[in-house]
Structures are given as C-alpha cells and as structure tokens.
Structure 1
Amino acid sequence: MATLDDKLLGEKVHNYCSSSESEDEDESDSENSKQGTNKDPAPPPPDLHKWEGSAANTGPKGVIKDWQRFKQLETESRIEQEKERIELIKKLSLTCRSALDEERDKEKDADLDDILNDEFLYAYQKQRMQEMIMQNEKSLPKFGNLINLKSGDEFLEAIDNEHKSVNVIIHIYEDYVPACRTMNTCLTQLTKEYVHVKFCKIIGSLAGMSRLFKVSGVPALLIYKGGVMVGNFIRLTDDLGDEFYPEEVESFLIEHGMLVDKTCVPPIISNENDDADSD
C-alpha cells in the first residue's frame, strides 16, 4: 500500500533506480572488487632472461645459432652418406667380377699347381743348373793338352796373359828323373778331363831354377790363378812315391783345392749323366 510520500512523489516503476541506490551499488561493487583483488592476486610478468624455449620470431643471435646447427647437421649427414657410398663401392668391387676375371683366376691357380708340383720343380732346377754350368764354361777358355814351355818368357806369359778365373798348373821337371816322366803322363791324362784348366810343363834349367832345386826339388807343381801363386808343391815323390797314377795326382790336387771335385756336382746333373750313359 502506497504511502503519502509515494503519492506525492509518484509510484516507483519497474527498473527505476534512484541516485542514492546507484551510489550504494557503486560502493558495494568497489568493495567487492577490492575483496576479489585481495583474494586472487594477478601473476607477475615472466622473466625474459630465464626463458629457454623457442619461438617463431627470434632475434639475430637465435637465427645465427639455428643456422650453425643446421650446417652442422648437414655436414654430418654428408659424411655419413659418403661412408655409406664407400662401403657400397667396396662391396661391389668384391662381388662384381666378370667371367673373364674368373677364368684368369682359374688359370693362375692352375699355374700355381704346376709350380708346386715336384716334377715341375725338379725339371726347372735341372734346367737352371745346366744353364749356370754352361754359362760358366762358356766364359772360360778350353785347352785339353799339356803345353810345353820353352823359356822363362813363355813361363811368365802363360801366367800373366791368362783369364783370371783359370787355374794354371805348371810342372817343373827334369828328363832324367823317372818320377817327372810319370808326372807328365798323368797330367796329359788330366787335361782331357779338366779342359778349362791350363796344364803346362817346363824344364827346370829353362825356368831359371837352381842346381839344388833341379836335383832335389823335382817333380814340382806350381799353381797360379789371376797372376798370383796359390799353390807350391815340390818333391812330390815324398807324397806320391816314385810310381803313381793319374787318379792319385787328381786326388792330391783336389784335396788341396787346386782342382774342382767333380763328385760335388749337383745330383740333378749327375743323375742326368747316369741316365745318358745307361741309354
């Protein structure tokens, strides 16, 4: 029910607010806002120096760092690709073989089997040994007879003018000594077997020997090689006696290293000679 004041002032209509009411509402709103502020304070702004994330929009330093990282990854990728390519090349080089390569390998294996074959090695050694002996013999002169020296000059020439690899055996003798005649016979026989050895003889008086040497020093053998005396054997009757044979003279010279021992010929050559003799 309206009062007198209401009638004088007029009745309140819906949604009508007086100035006093609005002020009350404003005060209440301000108080509420203050209370809300005290209850839920606003969060502080983030510290830019502690941020470690990434963003689409970075500064110059970030761009440079990203570019360096990109180039590093690109280099590592290129190195890895290069390694893979080299490994692939090696693998292909071991597996990609033509039929011609395989055939060549088979031929090499066959040649190796032939080399390792005992008969092949034996034949090769025999051939090589023969070539070496023939080469050595071709480089030396041949004689085959007992050379008679008639003067001291011929004696010197027989020594000085000869090949340095030739053994020169000179027999100093006297005709009236039986052992000297026997020695000449033996040396004549040895010249047929040792054709690369130079056998000579000279009378003691022609060689300028003393009377004592001619009486008690003969038969004597002097051996020279390269112009140097390598052997000097006088009065050989003390070792051989008054009567001896070519085999004994040969053994004596071999024992003292003046002749090559033919029994030391390699079995390859000696076996071949035996086979030839049997045929």
Structure 2
Amino acid sequence: MNLESRILDGKPAGYCSSSEGEEDDFKVVNDEDEHQANVMKRMGPSSNTGAKGVLNEFKAFREQTRLAYESRNQKLIEQAKKGMMVGSKEEREKAQKEDAEDEEDFEMTLEGLKAKRLREMRKIAANRVIEMTDKKQYSDAVDGSSEYLLCVLIYEPDSEDCEYLTRIIKILAADHSKTKFVRATSTLLEMSIAFKTNGVPCLQFYSHGNLIGNFVKVSSILGQDYDTKKLTKFLRGHHINLVAGGYATDSENETEEDD
C-alpha cells in the first residue's frame, strides 16, 4: 500500500474515491456544513497579519461596536419616551460607570489587536516547523514518533488554504514543545494529481509509528474561518492532545475541557 492509499484509507478522512476503478477521479467530502462555516469570518491568524490587517480588523470591530451603541441608545430613548427612566442615583451612576468602561475597552481594543498580531507574527517567525526535503526524512520522522507526537502537514505551494494552515501550524509549533511539526509537499511524497488538487492541505498525526489522525482537505472540514483554538478543539475531539504530545482518552479530554 502506497502512502496516498494509506492516507485515503485512514480514518477519519475527508476525501474519497468516487470510483474504485479510477484512481484520479476524486471528490471532496465535507465533514461539516460549509455554509455554516462560512456564515461569519472570525478573527484569527490570516494573511492580514501586518498593520493593514490589524486596522481592517479594528474597523470591523469598531463598526460592530458602533451598531451595538446605537441599538443601546435607541432602547434608552424609547424608554425615556415612555417615562421609564426614573432610576435611583445609584443606578444612574452605575450606568455612567459602565459607559466609561465600555469606552475604555473600545480604546484598548486596537492595542490589543496589535499585541495579539505581534505575538502571532513572532511565533510564525520562529518557524519551528521542519521542512521535509526527501522521503527518507519523512520516513525517519514517522519512525521516530515513539519519542514525540508527530504532526505532518502535506501541502502544495501557492495554495492559499495550505499557506493559511501553515501559519496556524507555525503558531501551534511555538506553543507545543511535546509535538514535532513537519511539512512536506505532496509532490515530494509522490501524490497523484487528484490528491494535489483536492486533498491538500492534509494533516497527519503519528504516535509510536502509528497513524492516529488523518485529516484530508482540512479547509473543507473546518471551513475557511478557523483559528488555532478551533483546530486544537477539533483535534482534541479526535483524541489528539498537542499539549501532552500524544493520544488522549475520553476521560483525559473531559479533564482538559473542565480546566
């Protein structure tokens, strides 16, 4: 069995052959509803990691905050018209204090976004993801997974989905010393054209030489708006613990979620 067959036959997989007799005819299977995943873009590591990205996110946040303020003020106006604003001095002072705190939080948001982006950019720059240069290096990494949890990103250059997941993996690599992160091109691993087109980005996890996690076309599984937190939670749901660097039982997962 070649590597591609092992990947496609692995569980769980998000990619399958549409015909047993046609190796190159594949279709993508969505494990989650893409429409739901694309309803709203959440903040997270993205191509907007620079100053423009921070400002764009701040503008979006500011617009949401403005709409919230307008909605709140409109309710207050309606209450005033109905003669419902007869509150005590304590209540009025409390409301004024809350308004002041809201404005302070609003002013601090841009600095918070900048700091968050700076932390992410530093982790990306640290680049603790090892680039595989030949198949033997890949095999050696799998064989050595008795000493660590191995995360393999199979990607294609010039793919936006692959570049996005690469940034996510670089951030995770900086935070999880017990997991070894590597990546290899699908060409290096001699994948088919169909896999290069429809199977990447692909994440594999090995422990003690065994494939314990196999997620093909991650962007179709998680949608286009995932971040490190969403990916980590998804992996935990499949018993992969990046913190401990290994396979997690149901009880261990429950304990970690409680924490």
How high is the TM-score relative to the length of structure 1? 0.41
Greater percentage in strand: 2
Q: Which structure's CA Rg is the greater one?
A: 1
Q: Which has the higher contact order (CA 8 A, sep 6+)?
A: 2
